[in-house]
Amino acid sequence: MAEQKQIFGTYLFGAEAAQKGYALNNMCFTFNDKANRDAFLADPEGYCRKYGLNEEQIKAVLAKDVIGLLKAGGNIYYLAKLTGIYGLNMQDIGAIQTGMTVDQFKAKLVAAGK
Amino acid sequence: MARIIGSMSASHVPAVGNAIARGLQEDPYWKPFFDGFTPAQKWLAEVKPDVAVVFSNDHGLNFFLDKMPIFAIGAAPSYPSADEGWGIPVNDPWPGIPPLSWHIANHVVEEEFDPVICQQMLIDHAVCLPMACFFEDCGRNKGYRPVKIVPVGINTVQFPMPSLKRCFEFGRAIGRAIESYPEDLKVVLIGTGGLSHQLEGERAGHLNKKFDTYCMDCIAGDPSPLLGLSNVDLVEQAGTAGLEFMNWMTMRGALLGEVREVTRTYHIPISNTAAAVQVLEQLPRLAAAAE
């Protein structure tokens, strides 16, 4: 099975996360619509509750805790719509998850191309 | 009969849409990426395809996790895009060619593949941005629509996913379908996504130039060494979003004949991604050899 091999710092999105994160990802899916993004920003916690997120998920959403969101079953393609609302790009998210500064994270990317 | 003239593959990164919207094609960060499309555009001007069959993965615009097809074939008269959550300008629709879509669907099901057939389909950045780069002069010629499209969706988002071998064989069936279509059409294949990148987890920022180069060598030459690779092996080498290489493998499968590499560029980083462009020309074949 796909989940058997462990790769450091890597969350494979399969049966377990797909079920656990369904409400969270479903909420993120609504963010394709600007009216929903605005409604979220007006009341983040209320919006989370409306979509049935559990306490672990709500806590991670409000804290912008990307690793916490992954552990709560979030899929990155959906989470990107949430972090986009907060104005965070992929380097910002990369820095948050790896404990680097954004400049350090960018430098790491550039170094990989050398 | 329809003829496959070659393939074009390119990474798809949402930030590219933002760069196009802001007119950053000449910006020092973006120029090496956008310039990689110039040889492909020159090749396109010579070969003038009528249709593009586009292999990509949806990112939560058309499909949600409530229903996630392993393979999907668009059969719509037109493919609109929409806001994916970032509020940047939405691309104009691309025209479809339903008779070819249905021909492909009929053919691949006869070959025992079972795709979902979509008479309505939204296309996201995975289709729109490579199309903009190849056909709309990297967004400078917005709205130019010289080809009709058949989008083919592959689930690279949620396990279980098809193996690279399965993708390649699905591509083979699509190639045979296209080449049995009675109308004289020139068809170009487009595979989008990849190459190595990983957006999530403590391993975010993982890139693998050596592996990507190997993959591009296999695409240009003999793809068979990649057929034994599991999806988890692919993640280990190319990162979680490196799974999008499945789109490239499906595309490569549809090239049934000998190929010649026209151009290749590879640039790290665009956003968090190893961004690649590769064009292969399929050499003309005798009809008998297509059997």
Q: Which of A9, A78, A85 lies nearest to residue B201, judging by beta carbons?
A: A9
DSSP state of A113: T
Name the pLDDT band for B284 (thresholds 50, 70, 90): confident
Residue B87: its chain A contacts at CB < 8 A? 34, 37
B197 is catalytic: yes
Say if residue B285's pLDDT is above 90: no
Residues from chain B that touch A18, judged by Cβ atoms under 8 A, are 65, 158
From chain B, the residues in CB contact with A71 under 8 A are none
**Mean pLDDT over the full length of chain A:** 95
Look at the domain A15-88 and name its fold. Protocatechuate 4,5-dioxygenase; Chain A (1.10.700)
What is the nearest CA distance from A77 to chain B, expressed in angstroms?
6
* pLDDT above 90 coverage of chain A, percent: 95
Q: What is the mean pLDDT of residues B61-70?
A: 98
What does the domain layout of chain A look like in residue ranges? 15-88
Give the per-residue pLDDT at A5.
80
Q: CB pairs below 8 Å between A and B: how many?
A: 140
- Interface probe with B: pick from A69, A75, A90, A108, most Cβ of B within 10 Å: A90
- Please report the pLDDT score of residue B286 as a whole number: 55
The model's pLDDT over B142-170, given as tens digits with 9 standing for 90+, comes to 999 999 999 999 999 999 999 999 999 99
For chain B, the maximum distance between any two Cα atoms, rounded to a whole number of angstroms, is 53
For position B291, what pLDDT does the model report?
A: 47
- Concatenating the DSSP letter of every residue in B60-109 gives SSS--TTS--SEEEE--SEE-----SS-PPPPPPEEB-HHHHHHHHHHHH
DSSP B283: P
Q: What is the mean pLDDT of chain B?
A: 96
pTM here?
0.97
Question: What is the reported pLDDT for B7?
Answer: 98
Q: How far apart are CA B266 and CA B244, in angstroms?
A: 16
Task: Name, in order, each residue with C-beta under 8 angstroms of A69's C-beta and a sequence gap of 6 or more.
Answer: A24, A57, A60, A61, A79, A82
DSSP string, A23-92: HHHHHHHGGGSHHHHHHHHH-HHHHHHHTT--HHHHHHHHHT-HHHHHHTT--HHHHHHHHHHTT--HHH
Considering only residues B89 and A27, tell me which one the structure prediction assigns the higher pLDDT: A27
What are the tens digits of pLDDT across the range A57-77?
A: 999 999 999 999 999 999 999
Give catalytic status of residue B59 as yes or no. no
Q: Does the beta-carbon distance from A2 to B87 stay under 8 Å?
A: no
Q: Which two tokens stand for residue B40?
A: 């492909």
- Asked if residues B112 and B173 have their Cβ atoms less than 8 Å apart, the reply is no
Would you say the ipTM is above 0.90? yes
Residue B288 has pLDDT above 70, yes or no: no
Mean pLDDT for the stretch of residues A12-41: 98
Mean per-residue pLDDT, B229-249 = 98
